[in-house]
């Protein structure tokens, strides 16, 4: 199956975007993003903490619907899914 | 009633909003939290558009390093309070409106009082803890919160209408880490004018608001995007389980 992962803002700078991946069936969302992020150490550290969990402020969407990052470890990916990973900004 | 001078001053936008819409802008009272990067373009555009009453709050002093983005302030303002500088410029831009500039830090103890009976709150802050306070005040007072935030060439904005859209805590349950963020003036320019546009639409009852959507601006790619955002029924601020006892009676708006 093929899924698309889109990174935004700083995540995009570090990891690129519109990444097509072909995960095996039963792959969960967190694993998919982790594998893609692993190609860039800084990108990985921006998104995941030292335990490999999504940092708590990161916003993850699956097909336009918010996925609680706490649930990303049990959300199974389906063919054609589009995953968006977004870092909110705080400056003014 | 609009004066002859006001009719002339706002002639080109009366073509857009009508005299009725312009009257509504004149009657509006908008609270701007912050006179920095976002607060500058927001305040300037709301002032020149004829928002009748603007309250702007900031506790800071103008620093040389602010001048690349905080366009309300100039070299001669360095060392002066931002509120003093802001009120001067805004009143010069439009003498027909009322401007209150309050030199204080927005905190949990004074936020509701500072906002007072304003019709809407514009978030021009540079930190999430204060944004969460503004969000709680907006929910309690049942008035909109026009959110914006920036970093570098990136920005985000959304319009929060209590009871109708997710609140700030639904969208961002956890604050991004604190940092000295990189910034160039054009980014708060883009996001601040999106926020100001929202205020003008809300106040004149025109257009479709940026509700239930998070606008994302990527200046590096020259790309804008939006993502759908939803209410969190378990939100500690606006969720269904939230006790309503702390809320004041809702004010009828729109």
Residues of B in contact with A90 (CB under 8 A): 126-128, 149, 151, 175-176, 178-179, 181
Break chain B down into helix, strand, coil percent, rounded to 5. Answer: 40, 20, 40
> Would the CB atoms of B227 and A86 count as touching at under 8 Å?
yes
Choose among B37, B221, B230: nearest Cβ to A92: B37
Burial class (CB within 10 angstroms; exposed 0-12, middle 13-18, buried 19+) of B142: middle
Put simply, the answer to whether B151 touches A57 (Cβ < 8 Å) is: no
**Contact check, Cβ <8 Å, A57/B36:** no
The total of other beta-carbon atoms located within 10 Å of residue B253's CB is: 13
**Which DSSP helix (H) or strand (E) runs through B228?**
strand B223-228
Q: In chain B, what are the domains?
A: 4-246 (3.40.50.720)
Q: What are the backbone angles phi and psi of residue B33, rounded to the nearest 5°?
A: -95, 95
Instruction: Tell me if the domain spanning A3-86 has CATH number 3.10.20.30.
Output: yes
Give Cβ neighbours of residue B221 (< 8 Å, ≥ 6 apart): A12
- The predicted-structure confidence for B149-179, as pLDDT tens digits, reads as follows 999 999 999 999 999 999 999 999 999 988 8
- Nearest by CB to B174, which of A9, A57, A86? A57
Q: What's the whole-model pTM score?
A: 0.93
Domain boundaries, chain A: 3-86
User: What value does the mean pLDDT of chain B take?
Assistant: 94
Owner of token pair 């940026």: B210
Contact A90 B175 (CB under 8 A): yes
Interface ipTM: 0.86
In 3D, which of B55, B43, B31 has the Cα closest to residue B93?
A: B43
The percentage of chain B sitting over the pLDDT mark of 70, rounded to a whole number, equals 94
State pLDDT tens for residues B27-61: 999 999 999 999 999 999 999 999 999 999 999 99
Q: Is the dihedral of CA B39, B44, B57, B111 positive or negative?
A: negative
């Amino acid at each position: 199956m093929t899924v698309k992962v889109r990174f935004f803002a700083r995540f995009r700078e570090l990891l690129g975007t519109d990444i097509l991946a072909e995960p095996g069936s039963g792959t969960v969302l967190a694993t998919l993003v982790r594998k893609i992020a692993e190609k860039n150490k800084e990108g990985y550290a921006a998104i995941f903490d030292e335990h490999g969990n999504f940092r708590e402020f990161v916003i993850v969407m699956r097909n336009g619907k918010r996925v609680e990052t706490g649930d990303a470890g049990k959300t199974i990916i389906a063919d054609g899914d589009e995953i968006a990973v977004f870092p909110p900004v705080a400056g003014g | 009633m609009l004066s002859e001078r006001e009719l002339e001053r706002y002639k080109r936008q009366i073509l857009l909003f009508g005299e009725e819409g312009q009257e509504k802008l004149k009657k509006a009272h908008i609270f701007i939290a912050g006179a920095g990067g976002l607060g500058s373009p927001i305040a300037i555009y709301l002032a020149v558009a004829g928002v009748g009453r603007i309250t702007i709050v900031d506790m800071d002093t103008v620093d040389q390093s602010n001048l690349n983005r905080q366009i309300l302030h100039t070299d001669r303002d360095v060392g002066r309070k931002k509120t003093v500088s802001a009120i001067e410029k805004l009143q010069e831009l439009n003498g027909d409106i009322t401007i209150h500039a309050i030199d204080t830090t927005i905190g949990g103890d004074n936020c509701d009082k500072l906002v007072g009976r304003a019709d809407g709150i514009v978030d021009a802050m540079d930190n999430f803890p204060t944004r969460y306070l503004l969000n709680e005040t907006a929910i309690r007072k049942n008035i909109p919160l026009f959110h914006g935030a920036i970093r570098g060439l990136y920005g985000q904005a959304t319009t929060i209408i209590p009871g109708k859209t997710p609140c700030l805590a639904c969208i961002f349950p956890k604050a991004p880490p604190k940092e000295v963020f990189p910034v160039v003036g054009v980014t708060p320019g883009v996001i601040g004018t999106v926020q100001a546009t929202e205020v003008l639409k809300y106040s004149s009852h025109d257009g479709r608001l940026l509700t239930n959507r998070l606008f994302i601006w990527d200046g590096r790619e020259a790309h804008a995007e939006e993502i759908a955002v939803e209410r969190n029924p378990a939100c500690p601020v606006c969720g269904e389980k939230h006790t309503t006892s702390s809320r004041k009676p809702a004010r009828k708006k729109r």
